Amino acid sequence: MSELRRLKGLLPPELQSWVTVEKTIEVNPLLVRSEEIGKDQVEIQIDLVRWEQLAMDQRNLLFWHEVARIQNDTIPRDGWEMAALAIGLGGAVGELWVQDGLLLLLALALCGVSGYRLYQKNNGEKTLEESIDADDKAIAIATRFGYSLPNAYKSLGSALKMLIEQTPKKRQRARYEARLQALKRSASKAKARVKGSREPSSGSESIYNN
C-alpha cells in the first residue's frame, strides 16, 4: 500500500535494511507497535483504518516514536520467560516429589530469574520512562527529516491528544496523558534553550501551545 511505502521511506537509512512496515492482522490491535520477528529483523505493524484518521504530521511523529523505540532497543523480544517459568515450576514440583535438593534449588533459581524478567518487562513505570525517552528521540528524528522543532512538538502533542480522546481504557489513557505532560515539559525546556541562545524576534514560533 502507498502509506506503508511512504512510512518505509521515513525510516532512517541505518534501519531500512532490517526494519519492515506492515498492516496489522490482529483483532483489536494497537494503533502502531513493533516486535522482533527474527534475528536482526523487526516489524512495525500499523492499524491502517485508525491510522488514516490522523493527520499526516501526527502519523509521522507517532511512527518516529516507534522508530526511536527500535533504536533504543526497548521493543518486545521473543519471550522465553513464560516458558522458563513453566519449566521451573514443573521442575520444582517434580523435585519435591523425588526430594532431590540440588535440582530443586536449580528449578527455583530458574523460576526466580524468569519471574524477575517478566516483572521487568511489565513494569509500568519503566515502560513509561522508555516511551517518554522515545518521544524525545522522535522529535530529534523529525528534525533530521526537515521538521522545525516547534512543528515537531506540536505534531506529536496533537497526536497524543487524539490518542487520549480515542482510548477507552483508563490505564492506557493515563499513559498517554503522562507522555503528553512530559512532552510539554520537554518543549518548555527546548523553548528556554532557544531563548537563551538568541533574542526572540516578534515573529518567533512557539514550540508548543496548549
Q: Is residue 65 part of a domain?
A: yes
Residues 32 and 134 grouped into a single domain: yes
Q: What SS3 state is found at 168? A: coil
Q: How many domains does the chain have?
A: 2
Q: Is the pLDDT of residue 104 over 60?
A: no
Residues 52 and 128 grouped into a single domain: yes
Averaged pLDDT for residues 182-197: 89
Residues 111 and 9 grouped into a single domain: no
pLDDT of amino acid 85? 43
For residues 74 and 202, the model is more confident at 74
Q: Is the pLDDT of residue 12 over 50?
A: yes
Percent of the residues in the chain that have a pLDDT greater than 90, as a whole number: 55
Residues 134 and 57 grouped into a single domain: yes
Q: State which of 15-24, 88-97, 110-119, 121-130 shows the largest mean pLDDT.
A: 15-24
Would you say 115 and 152 are in contact if contact means Cβ atoms under 8 Å apart?
A: no
Residues 36 and 102 grouped into a single domain: no
Residues 69 and 97 grouped into a single domain: no
Contacts of 33 (CB under 8 A, 6+ apart): 24, 44, 45, 66
Residue 94's domain comprises: 79-122
Buried b (16+ CB within 10 A) or exposed e, 16-25: eeebebeebe
Residues 110 and 146 grouped into a single domain: no
